[in-house]
Structure 1
């Protein structure tokens, strides 16, 4: 880890769980700062925007601003701009995701959209899902913000965008044309340019093998798995995805980084 200059931190299951910081979270940031390294919260969870994440982190005692957060919702907005320009889209997503997409010049359209965007919608209704399926059957472009099947919570795993993808596939026979978030390397490309760093100087710290770790490995970054969220040690041992480092939680990682 001596060569790592930027740590990308997943949030749900890695830095906090629900409204509680995971053991060692603040200590890890202190060590990173003391060594002159950088960090960025990088999350697939598109149900909130950067502002909402900053508000939550500050409530938990983490002094950050919006430059310290990058979400799959933002990456989706940038992808749409590059691929389609400013678009009229039908959204299965939260008000916060709508706010994020509109801040990049996109508009939300119910009757005659150009494409469908599916995010982690904690405000989902049957009406929205039904309308999305009708539009997807018309062969409109169909974009998902990320593929996570579950979102960790204090009560246990909750259905995430990947579960909605499966539901829509059962109804329409279609999978998304493009899934923007981790493990897609698009987010890494944006981050690499923003910090002017090669991916070999970047580490991804996360709790999911099929998103966080695949994302790092595909992008040429260091893959650090924490076992404080979705992935259990048994999951890791059965998986063909092998991160560079596996630790119990971010507290262990902080001690390792401090020791050098």
Structure 2
């Protein structure tokens, strides 16, 4: 039975500087038993190599190829729409690196695209420049629309989506987002693993990105309650995960793991 996994990171396999109990063992199980997997993150600040290094310091045996960021998805998407284009970027090194690798030039005037990514230091001067560029015709692109990001100890910082909303309100233009739950990123990651829709299992802790994106694609979805979404939150949503677990440690149970593998989510037209 061929199955593979797309796995969110923060809140699923680690919290801050600490792996979630059972997460290292779960990833080792996937590797040992030959199940392909890829980590998905809506954070565009770091390159896949940077993310890989961090995971290794937490005890995970991973490679650069196991990581897929929304910065990677954004750069690759734009390269197919306008090869060797130009962009004005509000973001950090991971996004800039991916755009350069995709053949894009970073400019301060008359860009094809204005791209908003994650950033810890965003200057109002850059925001004003971006607003004027969009008003003059540059297309507004968001690496993701997450309104906030957890930073540990119950604290949050403004996410990419918060800054995108400011630009949308100022310009009257809607941004196109490539990160989760966009099918763009989900499809790219699935294809990178060589999987079909019914062979793909999405594990995440956020209903509005991981579960919505995976479910919309027809993937089997597994919600872990070790992160953002809590059990009492589920009544707020008109959609639901296929499976809900306390943490990925539950997936070390062979019976539960096998039931997830056997789940079929192919959508078929009912007979009339």
Give yes or no for TM over 0.5. yes
In the alignment, the residues of structure 1 paired with residue 130 and residue 255 of structure 2 have an alpha-carbon distance, to the nearest angstrom, of: 46
2:33 counterpart residue number:
35
- Of 28-37 and 109-118, more deviation after overlay is shown by 28-37
Native 8 Å contact 1:152 1:229 kept in 2? no
* Cα offset, 1:134, TM superposition: 1.6
How has the CA–CA distance of structure 1 residues 65 and 34 changed in structure 2, closer, same or farther, with 3 Å as cutoff? closer
In the alignment, the residues of structure 2 paired with residue 36 and residue 51 of structure 1 have an alpha-carbon distance, to the nearest angstrom, of: 23
In the alignment, the residues of structure 2 paired with residue 71 and residue 173 of structure 1 have an alpha-carbon distance, to the nearest angstrom, of: 28
* Cα offset, 1:139, TM superposition: 2.8
1:159 counterpart residue number:
158
Q: Which runs of 5+ in 1 are unaligned?
A: none
* Cα offset, 1:203, TM superposition: 0.6
Matches within 5 A, 1:173-192: 173-176=172-175, 178-192=176-190
1:199 counterpart residue number:
197
Give the counterpart of 1:128 among 126, 129, 134.
126
Within the alignment, does 1:168 sit opposite 2:140 as a pair?
A: no
Native 8 Å contact 1:149 1:163 kept in 2? yes
- Of 187-196 and 243-252, more deviation after overlay is shown by 187-196
Matches within 5 A, 1:110-259: 110-155=108-153, 156-176=155-175, 178-255=176-253
- The secondary structure found in structure 1 opposite 2:152 is coil
> TM-score when scaled to structure 1?
0.92
RMSD: 1.7
* Cα offset, 1:37, TM superposition: 0.9
In the alignment, the residues of structure 2 paired with residue 65 and residue 123 of structure 1 have an alpha-carbon distance, to the nearest angstrom, of: 29
- The secondary structure found in structure 1 opposite 2:252 is helix
In the alignment, the residues of structure 1 paired with residue 117 and residue 172 of structure 2 have an alpha-carbon distance, to the nearest angstrom, of: 19
How has the CA–CA distance of structure 1 residues 104 and 257 changed in structure 2, closer, same or farther, with 3 Å as cutoff? farther
* Cα offset, 1:256, TM superposition: 5.1
In the alignment, the residues of structure 1 paired with residue 248 and residue 139 of structure 2 have an alpha-carbon distance, to the nearest angstrom, of: 39
In the alignment, the residues of structure 2 paired with residue 198 and residue 226 of structure 1 have an alpha-carbon distance, to the nearest angstrom, of: 23
* Cα offset, 1:259, TM superposition: 6.0
How has the CA–CA distance of structure 1 residues 257 and 60 changed in structure 2, closer, same or farther, with 3 Å as cutoff? farther
**Which has the bigger relative contact order, CA under 8 A and spacing at least 6?**
1
Larger radius of gyration: 2
> TM-score when scaled to structure 2?
0.89
- The secondary structure found in structure 1 opposite 2:185 is helix
1:104 counterpart residue number:
102
Native 8 Å contact 2:52 2:67 kept in 1? yes
Native 8 Å contact 1:49 1:97 kept in 2? yes
Residues 65-115 of structure 1, C-alpha deviations (whole Å, 9 max, x = no match) = 111101111111111011111111000111221112111111110122121
Native 8 Å contact 1:77 1:104 kept in 2? yes
Native 8 Å contact 1:31 1:257 kept in 2? no
